[in-house]
Every structure is written in structure tokens, then in C-alpha cells.
Amino acid sequence: MGGARALVLLSLVFGLLVRCVGGQDAQSDIAALLAIKAALVDPQGILTNWVTGFGNAPCDWNGVVCVAGRVQEILLQQYNLQGPLAAEVGNLSELRRLNMHTNRLNGNIPASLGNCSLLHAVYLFENEFSGNIPREVFLGCPRLQVFSASQNLIVGGIPSEVGTLQVLRSLDLTSNKIVGSIPVELSQCVALNVLALGNNLLSGSIPNELGQLVNLERLDLSRNQIGGEIPLGLANLGRLNTLELTHNNLTGGVPNIFTSQVSLQILRLGENLLSGPLPAEIVNAVALLELNVAANSLSGVLPAPLFNLAGLQTLNISRNHFTGGIPALSGLRNIQSMDLSYNALDGALPSSLTQLASLRVLSLSGNKLSGSLPTGLGLLVNLQFLALDRNLLNGSIPTDFASLQALTTLSLATNDLTGPIPDAIAECTQLQVLDLRENSLSGPIPISLSSLQNLQVLQLGANELSGSLPPELGTCMNLRTLNLSGQSFTGSIPSSYTYLPNLRELDLDDNRLNGSIPAGFVNLSELTVLSLSGNSLSGSISSELVRIPKLTRLALARNRFTGEISSDIGVAKKLEVLDLSDIGLYGNLPPSLANCTNLRSLDLHVNKFTGAIPVGIALLPRLETLNLQRNALSGGIPAEFGNLSMLASFNVSRNNLTGTIPTSLESLNTLVLLDVSYNDLHGAIPSVLGAKFSKASFEGNPNLCGPPLQDTNGYCDGSKPSNSLAARWRRFWTWKAIIGACVGGGVLALILLALLCFCIARITRKRRSKIGRSPGSPMDKVIMFRSPITLSNIQEATGQFDEDHVLSRTRHGIVFKAILQDGTVMSVRRLPDGAVEDSLFKAEAEMLGKVKHRNLTVLRGYYVHGDVRLLVYDYMPNGNLASLLQEAAQQDGHVLNWPMRHLIALGVSRGLSFLHTQCDPPIVHGDVKPNNVQFDADFEAHLSDFGLDKLSVTPTDPSSSSTPVGSLGYVSPEATMSGQLSSAADVYSFGIVLLELLTGRRPVMFANQDEDIVKWVKRQLQSGQVSELFDPSLLDLDPESSEWEEFLLAVKVALLCTAPDPMDRPSMTEVVFMLEGCRVGTEMPTSSSEPTNQASPV
């Protein structure tokens, strides 16, 4: 009896003790939760009931799950909670699950979570956590199965202690800023199903030991800086269904890891440096749904078994070097998206293409496919996207396109298609993009196209279309881009185009349009680009154009307008580019230009403007280009222009400016072009400007003195003017000298002056020229492709080929600056004396005269007689890339930001691609280097010195850096060995130029004698020293910015171009495509790659 009483009493005491301890634990949980609440901002009030008096605290609180009175789960996802996660969370000793994803939590992930030893799931993705991953969490939570902290701001490396987590099933750290290598200890997490580390800054190589994770189903290492080869150990991952390795620096070939990959469904290896063939064993991956190996250097023929994978839905092998024809496609019964673009595939389109009934996306752009378009394409009724541009396709556009009712994008640009645009296209009622640029299509624009009410982009530029512009296009209310440039359209601009409410870009350049600009463009609230240059438009320029609310570019150059610039110009607050050059405007420049504060380029050259240059232009903070040459402006150069901190090009030549050159211009570190020539300036040239620019920038001002002028034309620091024959010649021909002669000496003085000039001219001709001809002789004619000039004109324009007019000396002769009587400036190349037969020279020159592209120097004319051979080109006032890079080096790179470098690279690649693919026969450049990249007045890059090997016998100069196959440092290995030129060698040379442009380093100037720029760049990438690649001006790029990614993509393009094996290099067409894709943060202009039939100014 007593024993039973004692047992009951013991039970009561034990129960009371348990409740006491349990109560204390519950109070500890409440205190921890209240600390968490106190640290957070709760805009949605989800934590309102977290108070001690509410219900059964804390188990009745929102987002809290209890078991036996203890907190086991916190579920507070997607409530916009803000602030740090309090360290007291580590006091929740029974916590199993922590789910607070998709909030705005910040600060460090608390290391105290390691105290929650029972924790098995942590979901903290889509927050703003920073700092390192606490190793304490991995050490203290041995039961952890899921750790998801993706899309945060976490830095540092992955703790090696992760290897202690034997039951970890999922580790997701994607989209952070994690650095270092992938810890080999991850191979000890044998239960791992998901390893996602994509979009970080990881470097090093992929550990082969990851092949020990036999339960792995998804491996994502994409968008890092991982190098080395894909390890063969991955072949052991028999359960793997997703492998993502895109956007890294992986090298070597695609390994044969497919024998046991029966579960693999998604394989993404794109955007790397992989080379070699695509293994045929990939057919063993019978479950494959998606294959992406785009943007590598894979080569060889396409393996036919690949096209028998019946389950394959997405195939992307674009931007590689695959050759040969396209295999039979009928085995791809479920294919929905197929991208084979930008390879070197040739032959005709396979007839089996028409059997792919499920196909929605087909891109075969940028290959060498030939033949006509098969009529059976109309059978692909599910097709939504069709891109066959940049091939060699010919014939007409099939009429069965009318069956493609689902089609939204049709791109057939840059082929050799002929005939009219068929009305059948108008049956594709869902069409949003129609791009037929750069073909030989003829006839009028079909009025039926106006029925395409979903049409957003219509690109028809650079064809042979004619007739008038159809007013009916003004009913396409969704139209955003309308490009009808480079045709033979006549008549006026339809007023209906002013009623397109969504129009953003209207390009009607280089047609034969006349009449006035219709009223109403001011009503287009979305219009950003209005380009009407190169027509015969007339009348005055309406002030309403500057009131278009979003206008960023207004180009009306080379028309027949009259009148003045409206004083309302200042309301154009968003205007970035204003080109009103060569259209006959007069009057004063309006001071209101100072209100166009976003203006980057102001081009008003070749007009009749008078008066002073408005001082207010100095208030334009973003101005990069100011071109006022060939007007009648007077007064001085405003000293305030020294405040234009971004000014790169400043041209006020051939005006009536007086005064001195302001010393304030010396502070313009970004200035790469200065031309104040042929004015009436006087005094000393500021020393910094004199040292930076050549005498061509200052000549024609009789009273300017000091370097770089060789003689002193006026009083400078008390010195007397030079009395040399050349100096007296220049002074005699100033207006002041002529007026003085008339007033002081009357008619006799004028006669003496003329006699003296005649004598001087005769002496100069005898001394400097061996090729003089009488102006009327047959030998005097220079063959020009447009307006004629004579040899005498050129002799006079070059001062009888005087040294003062020399622009450059190359292996293909001497280039002179020629200033014609009407003020036009040309470049004249005098080729070395050689034995090229006259008829051959003429034939080659005629052929080169037909090569026209906006990124190539255009041959305007030639002269041949005896040993004298001349080539006439447009003058490039902004020098060459070599000079620009040298200037950038002196200014720590600050004259060249990333967008400028990218546009230069893109321009050169487009020009070179045109030579390789659009010329018949194709032209191999043979000497691509910075000296042969020249810049026009708008700083657009033009590739020069092409096609000259057949026009001259190049002399051998032992002191020159040139070789028979290019210039030292830029010549490909195979060209050095064989002495043979090729398009692949051009690609290599371009790659070197691109690396030089990106890094600011010369090709062979390295401390290690055996190291060149290619080896140096690869070494920096492999060691993870990415920042070492950046030119000094690019060091401030944010690693998270799009520009950082764009730069690295461009480096990868350069490395592809410089592959040792020419078969592994991309074509220049592929390079253009890749460089266009580099600008991920900015939409590239759609017209920038178009060939142009620029009119010669002569």
C-alpha cells in the first residue's frame, strides 16, 4: 500500500517536472520569435498576432507550426518582410523547416542557425542576404536535406564543410556573387539530387569527383567563369536528367559521356570555348528533349544519328563551325525549335524539312545555303519563327507562304532573292516582323502588306524596289520600325505615315523622294528616330519636328532644304543626334541649342550659317561630336568649350573664325579630333594641343604659330613671321593680303602679285612633280565614278604631292590629303611604281569601286598612266584605330568607354564580313590591323587597304613591320608558315585587333618573350584574374552589370577568332552575329550593318 502511494507521488512529480521544463522551452521559443519580429519591417501585417496574449502562443501565430508545443516550422514566404534575420532564430532548438523565401531579408545569414541541430530544410531564396555562407550551418545541422539560398547577394566561397552533410538532397545557390572553386568535398554528399550553382563567379575547373554523386539528377554550373575540360567522370551520373554548363570558359571537346545517360533530357553546353566534333554517341541519350551547344567552336559535319532522336524537341547548335549539308530531318518527329544558324552549312535546304509538322521555330541564318526556297515550306502550318537570312539563297519568294497562318517573324534578309514581294505574304495575318533587307527584290511595295495589322517591324532596305511609297502602310497601326532606305523610291512622303501611333523608327534614307516633310510627325508620341537623309526633299524644316516628344535622332542631311534652324530647337530635350549637314541652311545658330542637354552629336557642316558660335553649346554635358565645318561662322572659339568634358570630335574648319585658340581646350582629355584649319585664327597654338594633333588640324590660319606648324606664320612670343617661300605663298592668298594689295598698290600691285604667284607655281611644279600634264591633255583625266575631276585638280589639291599633305605611308604607297577648290576633302593614294598592266589595273579598280559598305573605305576614282597610279577615297578626318588606342593609353583609356569599343569592333567585323561574303569574287583583306581601321566625321569605323595587292607591286622594306601576308603580331600561324592569304587568316587578325581593343595591350609587348596577347588572355582567364584583362578605363565596370558580361563575351569572341586551327575559327558573319549579341543591355540599331551606296561628295 505504501509502495503504491510512493509510485503515484513519483509520477505526479515527474509530470509536473516535464510540464515545467516544457513551459520553459515554449517560453524560449516565444522569446526567439519576438526577437525575429522586432528586427523586421512587416508591411502586410502578417506578424500582427505575434503577441504573448494571443491564443496558444506561439503555436497559433501566423506562419508558425508547432508539434507538442514546440516550434518546428516557420512559414513566412512572400510577405515582403524587410530587415535582418535575428540571431535568436538559433534558439529554436526543435526547428525543422525554415521557409522565408521571396521577401526582402538582408544582412548575413545567421551563423546561429547551426544551433538548430534538427533542421532539415532552409528556404531563403529571393531575398537580399549578403556576406558569406556560415560554415556553422553545415557543421551543426547534420540532418539538413535542403538548403536553398538562390537569388541573393551572398559572397565568398562555398564552405568545404558542406561535405559533412550526408543526407543533403538539394543545394541551390544560383544567382549570387559566390567566388572560388567548386569544393571537391561536395562529392561526399552522396544523397545529392540537385546541385545548382549557376550565375555566380565560380572559377577553376569542374571536379572529376562529382561523378561520385550517383543520385544526382540536376547539375547546374552555368554562367560562371569555370574553365578546363568537361570531366569524363560525369559519365557515371546515370540518373542525370539535366546538365547545364552554359556561359563558362570550358575548353576541349564534348566528351563521350552519353553511353549510360539514358535519363538525360536537357543538355546545355552553349557559350563556351569547346572545339572538335559533336560525338555521334549522343544518339545514346534516347530521352533527350533539348540539346544546346550554341556559341562554341565545334566543327566537322553534323552527325546524322542526331537527327534521328525522335523525342528531341529543341535543338540549338548555332554559332559554331559545322560544315557540310544539313542531314535528312524526317526522324525529328517532335522537333519544335531548331536553330542551326551561323555555321558554314552549305547545299540546298533538305526537302525533308517540310515534314516537320510540329516545328515552330526554324533559324538557319548565317550559313552558305544555296538554291531556291522550297515551296513545301507552306506545309509547316505551326511555324511561328522563320529566319533564313544571310545565306546564298536565290530565286523568288514562294507563294505558298500564304499557308503559314501562325507565322510571326519572317527574315529572308541578305540573300540574292529576286522578283517582286509576293502578295501571298499578306496572308500571314499574324506576322509581326518582316525583314527582306539586302536582296535584289524589285518592283513596288505590295499594297496588300497594309492588311498586316499585327506588323511591328518592316525592313525592306537595300533592295531594288521602286515606285512611290504606298500610303496604305499608314494603316498598320502597330508598326514600330519602318525601314525603306537605299532604294529608288520617288514621289513624296505619304502624310499617312504621321498617323502611326506606335512608330519608333522611320528610315527613308538614300532614295529619290522629293517634296516637303509632311506635317503631323509631332503627333507620334513614340517616335525616336526620324532619318530622311540623302533625298531631294525641299522647303523649310518645320519647327514641329523638334517637338516630337521622344525624338532622339533627327537626320535630314543631304537634301535641298532652305531657311534657318528654328529657335524652338531647345524644346527637343531628349534629342541625342542632330544631323542637318549639307542642306543649305543659313542664318545664325540659335542659342536655344543649349537646352538640348542630351545631345551627343551635333552636325551642321556644309551649310551657310553666319554669326558667332553660341557659347551655350558649352552647356551640353554629353556632347561628343561637334561638326560646324564649311560654314561662314565668325567670332572666336568660346573658351567655355573647355567644359565639354565628353567632347571627342571638334571640327570648325573652313569658317571665318578669328581670335586665338582657347587654352581651356587643353583640358579636354577625351578629345581625339580637333580641326580648326582654314580660319583666321592667330597667336600661339596651346602647347598640349600642338603636341597632341598634327599640323593638318591648324593649317590655313596664316597668323597661327608654334608646333606642330613647321614655320611661323605670325608673331609668336615676339618672333617675326617666317619669310619662307611657302609661308609667303600662304600669306599672299589670304583675304587680308589681297585686300591690302588692292588698297596699297592699286592695279599694279595686283599684276605683280599675280605674276609672282605664277612664277612660284611654275617653280614648285618643276621641283616637286614628275607627273604634271597640261589641263587639257587626255592624260589628265581621273576616272571618277561620280563627278569628274582631273589630275591637275589633284595636283593642286595636294600641293603637287607635297610632304605637307602626307597622311600616312603604307606598303601600298603614300596617302595624301587633297583639298579641292570647292572645299571637298579627299584621300589620294599614290601606289608604288610597279609593273601591273594598265588594263588589269583598270579592271581591278572598277571592281573595287563597286564595293560599298558603311564600314569600308569607298573607292571614288582612280588614275593610271605610265608608272603613275592613283586611288581616290573619301577623307577620314578622325584618324585610325592605332592612333586612337595610343591616345587612350596616354589618357589611361578614358577616351574609349566600353560602348565605343564595342561599336568599333562591330563596325570592323561588319566590313570584313561584307568583303568575305558579299563581294564576287570574295575579297581577302590580308592585313587587318589598327592602322587600317579609320574613322569618319561621326567616328564610325571604316576598314581600309583592302584589295590593293592586285593593284600594285609591293616593295620589300626590311625595316617595316609588314610581311607579305600581313603585319607582325597580327598574322595567323598558318599564313606565316604557308605565305598564303585566306579569310580564316583575316578572322585571326581581327581577333588580335579585338583583343588589343578590349585590353589596351599591344599584340607582342609582354614581359615573357614567348607570350603573345592570346596566351596572356588565356592565362588570365584560367587563373581567374579577369580584372587584369580590362583596359584602365574599364576597371570600374560592375561585375554584376551587363557591360561586364558584354566585355567577357567579346573576349570569348576574340579567342574563338584566334584559335590555332583555322577550321576552328568562326566566319566573319558569325563574328558579327556574336558581337551583336554581346550588347545584352542595349538594343542594337537594326540598320547599322547594312551596306550603303554612299554618295561621293565630289
- Reply yes or no on whether the pLDDT at 774 is more than 50: no
Percent of the chain with pLDDT over 70: 85
Q: What is the pLDDT of residues 5-32, one digit of tens each?
A: 545 444 444 443 344 444 567 899 999 9
Q: What are the grid coordinates assigned to 717, written together?
A: 612670343
Average the pLDDT over 58-79 and give the result.
95
Per-residue confidence at 503, pLDDT binned at 50, 70, 90? very high
- Mean pLDDT: which of 274-278, 773-777, 790-794 is highest? 274-278
Among 175-179, 589-593, 676-680, 693-697, the minimum mean pLDDT is found in 693-697
Q: Which is nearest to 223 in space by CA: 283, 167, 268, 256?
A: 268
Per-residue confidence at 38, pLDDT binned at 50, 70, 90? very high
End-to-end CA distance of the chain: give it in Å, rounded. Answer: 128
Average the pLDDT over 650-676 and give the result.
93
Among 482-486, 666-670, 733-737, the minimum mean pLDDT is found in 733-737
Among 75-84, 276-285, 440-449, 721-730, the minimum mean pLDDT is found in 721-730
Q: What are the grid coordinates assigned to 156, written together?
A: 565568398
Average the pLDDT over 757-771 and give the result.
36
User: Where are the extended beta strands (E) located within 317-449?
Assistant: 321-324, 337-339, 344-347, 361-363, 368-372, 385-387, 392-395, 409-411, 416-419, 433-435, 440-443
Percent of the chain with pLDDT over 90: 58
Q: Which residues of 962-981 are buried (b: 16+ CB within 10 A; e: fewer)?
A: bbebbbebbbbebbeeeeeb
Cα separation, 642 vs 715, whole angstroms: 25
- The pLDDT, as a whole number, for residue 773 is 37
Per-residue confidence at 236, pLDDT binned at 50, 70, 90? very high
- DSSP string for residues in 1020-1067: HHHTT-GGGGS-GGGTT--TTSHHHHHHHHHHHHHHHHT-SSGGGSPP
* Contact by Cβ (8 Å): 528, 555: no
- DSSP string for residues in 531-559: E--SSEEEEEPPGGGGG-TT--EEE--SS
- Reply yes or no on whether the pLDDT at 525 is more than 80: yes
> Which residues contact residue 450 at a Cβ distance below 8 angstroms, ignoring those fewer than 6 apart?
470, 472, 473, 474, 475, 476
Cα separation, 231 vs 210, whole angstroms: 9
Per-residue confidence at 868, pLDDT binned at 50, 70, 90? confident
* Contact by Cβ (8 Å): 402, 378: yes
Among 473-487, 509-523, 723-737, the minimum mean pLDDT is found in 723-737
DSSP lists the bridge partners of residue 344 as: 323
- Reply yes or no on whether the pLDDT at 611 is more than 50: yes
- Mean pLDDT: which of 64-73, 542-551, 957-966 is highest? 64-73
Among 317-321, 613-617, 618-622, 1067-1071, the minimum mean pLDDT is found in 1067-1071
- Reply yes or no on whether the pLDDT at 356 is more than 90: yes
Residue type, 968: L
Per-residue confidence at 834, pLDDT binned at 50, 70, 90? low
- The pLDDT, as a whole number, for residue 1024 is 74
CATH superfamily of 881-1078: Transferase(Phosphotransferase) domain 1 (1.10.510.10)
Element (H, E) at 319: none
Average the pLDDT over 527-541 and give the result.
92
- Mean pLDDT: which of 115-119, 843-847, 877-881, 1050-1054 is highest? 115-119
* Contact by Cβ (8 Å): 794, 818: yes
- Reply yes or no on whether the pLDDT at 608 is more than 50: yes
- The pLDDT, as a whole number, for residue 1043 is 77
Domain 770-874 annotated CATH 3.40.30.10 = no
Cα separation, 569 vs 590, whole angstroms: 8
* Contact by Cβ (8 Å): 942, 931: no
* Contact by Cβ (8 Å): 633, 657: yes
- Reply yes or no on whether the pLDDT at 743 is more than 50: no
Average the pLDDT over 633-656 and give the result.
94
Domain 18-202 annotated CATH 3.50.30.50 = no
Average the pLDDT over 759-764 and give the result.
36
Q: Which is nearest to 979 in space by CA: 962, 991, 963?
A: 963
Write out the catalytic residue numbers: 927
Average the pLDDT over 924-930 and give the result.
91
Among 508-517, 801-810, 935-944, the minimum mean pLDDT is found in 801-810
* Contact by Cβ (8 Å): 1074, 1049: yes
> How many CA atoms within 13 Å lie on the side-chain side of 1006?
18
> Which residues contact residue 18 at a Cβ distance below 8 angstroms, ignoring those fewer than 6 apart?
none
Per-residue confidence at 756, pLDDT binned at 50, 70, 90? very low
- Reply yes or no on whether the pLDDT at 172 is more than 90: yes
- DSSP string for residues in 733-757: TSHHHHHHHHHHHHHHHHHHHHHHH
**Where do the structural domains in the chain lie, given as residue ranges?**
18-202, 770-874, 881-1078
> Which residues contact residue 413 at a Cβ distance below 8 angstroms, ignoring those fewer than 6 apart?
389, 390, 435, 436, 437, 438, 439, 459
Q: What is the CA 775 to chain-centroid distance, rounded?
A: 49
- Reply yes or no on whether the pLDDT at 737 is more than 50: no
Average the pLDDT over 1019-1043 and give the result.
71
Per-residue confidence at 947, pLDDT binned at 50, 70, 90? confident
Q: Which is nearest to 176 in space by CA: 208, 150, 138, 212?
A: 150
Per-residue confidence at 715, pLDDT binned at 50, 70, 90? low
- The pLDDT, as a whole number, for residue 808 is 82
Cα separation, 1097 vs 751, whole angstroms: 35
Average the pLDDT over 442-462 and give the result.
94
- The pLDDT, as a whole number, for residue 841 is 81
* Contact by Cβ (8 Å): 735, 729: no
- The pLDDT, as a whole number, for residue 7 is 52
- The pLDDT, as a whole number, for residue 956 is 44
Q: What is the pLDDT of residues 996-1026, one digit of tens each?
A: 998 888 886 554 556 788 888 888 887 777 7
What rounded mean pLDDT belongs to the chain? 84
